[in-house]
Amino acid sequence: MEAVSRAIHARPELKFAEFHAQEVLTGWLTESGFTVKAPVAEVDTAFVAVHEGSSPGPYVAVLAEYDALPAIGHGCGHNLIAAGGAAAAIAALRTLPGHPGTIAVIGTPGEEMGGAGKVRLADAGVFEGVDAAVMFHPGDRSLTTQHALAAAHLRIRFTGVSTHAAKSPWEGRSALAAAQLFLGALDAMRQFMPPTARVHGIISDGGQAPNVVPARASVDLYVRDRTAASAEALVERVHKAAHGAALATETEAEVCETGPLYAERRKNTVLAARFGATARALGLNIAPGDPDSPAGSSDIGNLSQLMPVIHPYVQVARLGTPSHSEAMRDAAATSFAHDRTQLAATGLARVVCDLVTDPDFLAAARAEFAAGSRAERAARSRAEFAAG
C-alpha cells in the first residue's frame, strides 16, 4: 500500500491525465485477483476492478481518487485515498475469499477542479447496481462524518474591443475592466448572501500586454452553499452581476459551466458508525463531524444522492494543517500518514465485509438512505410552496 501511495505521490497528475496512477493501481488490483476494465465510460483514466463472489449478494464499491492539484501536487492526499481504498478492497477479499456478492474498486479520476469524475461515471451507468460505496479522506483531524457544500463551477467570459491603450484607448472596450467590475459587484453582494455561502474565483485571463486594451477576459468562479438549490439561486445572481458589469463597460458577458454541479453530501450514520467503531478499536480517536464546521465540496455528494456512502476523515497531518496546501502535500508522504491510511483501510474493509455478509446491516443503511430521501423531497415541496 505504501509503495503504491508513494509512486502516485511522486508523479502528481491533473484531472483526467492520471495515467500513471491508473496503471499502478490496476496492476496491483489485477495481481490481487480483481478483474480490471479500463478505461470505462469514455473516461480514459477511470477503471472498474471487480471480484465476483461465490454466490449472489450485494455489490459494494470502494472509491479511489488519484488526481492532484496544479502547482501543489498531492496537497489533498489523493495518493492516500487511492492506495488506502485499493488496500481495503484487497483486505476484504483476503478475509472473505468466498464472499457473496461483488466487491469492487472504482477508479474515479478528476475530483479536483470541477472535473466531476464520479458524476460522469454515474451518468454513464457505471454505478448501476451498486448497493453502497465507501472511501476515506485524509485530513488534519479524524471525523466519522463531515458535511460538504454544493458547488457550481463557472467561467464568466467578457468580450470587448482591443485597441492601443495609450494612443486611442477611447476606441476600445476593456474586457478586463468588465471582469474587475464584476468582481467588485460580487464583493458588494457578500453582505446579502447567506452566511453559509462561499463565492470565490480568479481572473484566469486578463489580457496579454499592458499596452493593449484586452478584448477578452475570463473569471473562473466557484459558487457554494449548503444545498444545490441555494447554490443555484446564487448562480442566478452571479449571472445578473456579470451582465450588469458588461452593460456598464459596453462589453459582452457569457456565463458557462466548467463542470457539473457538485451536490451536497448526505451522510449515512449506519455505515459511519461501523467505520468509527472499528477505527476506535484500533486506537484512533475519531469523533462525529460538526454540521456547522467549515467545509469544502466533492463529487461524492452526487453519489450520496443515489446510494448509501461514507466519506470519513482520518488525521494524517498536524491539527490545523490546511488542505490543498504544500504542508498537506508533504504530510501525505510521511510514515505517519501511511500508518493512519492502513488504519483507515482496515475500517473500510470491515464495512465492506459486513455489507456483503450481513443483510440486516445493509438493510439498515438502505433504510436511513430512504428516510433521508423522503425528508429531502418534503423539504423541497415546502420550499416550492413557500415560493408561490
Quote the pLDDT of residue 25: 98
161 to each of 171, 178, 182, 219, 253, how far by Cα in Å?
8, 12, 18, 18, 13
Non-local (6+) Cβ contacts of 279 within 8 A are 142, 144, 286, 312, 314, 343, 344, 346, 347
Non-local (6+) Cβ contacts of 357 within 8 A are 57, 96, 99, 100
In this structure, whether the domain defined by 2-148+265-377 belongs to CATH 3.40.630.10 is answered with yes
Read off the amino acid at residue 276: G
Quote the pLDDT of residue 293: 82
Same topology, domains 2-148+265-377 and 150-262? Answer is no
Q: DSSP letter string over 320-382?
A: TPPSSSHHHHHHTTSHHHHHHHHHHHHHHHHHHHHHHH-HHHHHHHHHHHHHHHHHHHHHHHH
CATH tag for 150-262 (out of 3.40.50.150, 3.90.1150.10, 3.30.70.360, 1.20.58.220) = 3.30.70.360
Quote the pLDDT of residue 385: 47
Non-local (6+) Cβ contacts of 234 within 8 A are 152, 193, 197, 199, 223, 225
- Mean pLDDT, the chain cut into blocks of 10 residues (388 residues total): 98 98 98 98 97 97 98 97 98 97 98 93 97 97 94 97 96 98 96 94 96 97 95 97 98 96 95 97 93 86 96 97 96 98 98 98 97 67 52
Q: Are 357 and 96 in contact (CB under 8 A)?
A: yes
Q: What angle do CA 237, 241, 245 make, to 5 degrees?
A: 170
Quote the pLDDT of residue 291: 80
Question: What does the domain layout of the chain look like in residue ranges?
Answer: 2-148+265-377, 150-262
Read off the amino acid at residue 127: F
